[in-house]
């Protein structure tokens, strides 16, 4: 699968309170979550998210276990998140709900705001079409690859429960 979009760059330690504040957890409506995604960091995020690929530093998604965080990003229309590293619960949640995430320190450092990006998820490759750079991404372990291929954890479990 190929994903393309424009890079929106953010810093290190983007926490889940910044991604979606707790006062919006009173809703499980994705559109409502999308409206407030990253608003305290970047008030214009929701306007430019729909064609974006987020590019952040280390420890993206640290903090709360709220699954609303990857859900809000996914609902905003953003295509994927590239980061130097991810916090572990966010990483699991993103895989489970089917938000593409890619870990690459080099890509996180070299990609510039506004660069046009193309990601080949199967090959684990990020192309920066603006600069001409190509980055290889740390691959998912096979078990996670399976979850992703089935379209999220729930689909995998539905099949397991059915086969029992």
Partner 1 sequence: MGKTMAEKILENKAGFPVKAGDLVIAPVDRAMGQDGTTPLAIQSFEEMKGERVFDPEKIILILDHNAPSPLESVSRLHDLMRNFSRKFGVQLMEIGEGVCHELMVSRGFVVPGDLVVGADSHTCTYGAIGAFSTGVGSTELAVVMLSGELWFKVPETIRLNLQGKLPAGVFSKDVILYLAGKLGADGATYQALEFHGPVIENLEVEERFTISNMAVEVGAKAGLMVPDEKAIKWVRERTNREFQPVFPDPDAQYSRVIDIDCSSLSPQVALPHQVDNVKPIEEVGEVPIQEAFLGTCTNGRLRDIEVAARILEGRKIHPEVRFIVAPASREIFLEAIKRGWVETIVLAGGVFVTPGCGPCVGTHQGVPGDGWNVISTANRNFKGRMGNAQSFIYLASPATVAASALEGKITDPRKYLR
The region of 15-23, 46-54, 108-116, 122-130 touching partner 1 under the rule CB under 8 A is 15-23
Map residues 51-90 to x or -, x wherever contact with partner 1 holds by CB under 8 A. -------xx--xxxxxxx--x-------------x-xxx-
Q: How many residues does the chain have?
A: 164
Cα 70 → chain centroid? 6
- Answer yes or no: are the C-beta atoms of 48 and 9 closer than 8 Å: no
Q: What angle do CA 95, 98, 99 make, to 5 degrees?
A: 85
Gap between the Cα atoms of 55 and 129, Å rounded = 15
Cα–Cα distance for residue pair 58/119, rounded to 1 Å: 20
CB of 102 to partner 1, least distance (A): 16
For the bound state, the minimum distance from the C-beta of residue 130 to partner 1, rounded and expressed in Å, comes to: 29
> Which residues contribute to the site for partner 1 (CB under 8 A)?
13, 15, 17-18, 21-23, 25-28, 40-41, 58-59, 62-68, 71, 85, 87-89, 92-93, 96-97, 141, 143, 152-154, 157-158, 160-161
């Amino acid at each position: 699968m190929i994903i393309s979009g424009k890079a929106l760059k953010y810093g290190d330690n983007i926490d889940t309170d910044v991604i979606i504040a707790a006062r919006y957890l009173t809703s499980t409506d994705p559109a409502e979550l999308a409206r407030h995604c990253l608003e305290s960091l970047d008030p214009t995020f929701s306007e430019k998210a729909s064609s974006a690929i987020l590019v952040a530093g280390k420890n993206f998604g640290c903090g709360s276990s709220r699954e609303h965080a990857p859900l809000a990003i996914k609902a905003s229309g953003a295509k994927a998140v590239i980061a130097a590293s991810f916090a572990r619960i966010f990483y699991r949640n993103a895989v489970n709900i089917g938000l593409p995430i890619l870990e690459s320190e080099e890509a996180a450092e070299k990609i510039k705001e506004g660069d046009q990006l193309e990601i080949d998820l199967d090959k684990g490759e990020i192309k920066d079409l603006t600069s001409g750079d190509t980055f290889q991404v740390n691959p998912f372990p096979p078990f996670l690859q399976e979850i992703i291929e089935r379209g999220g954890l729930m689909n995998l479990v539905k099949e397991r429960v059915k086969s029992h």
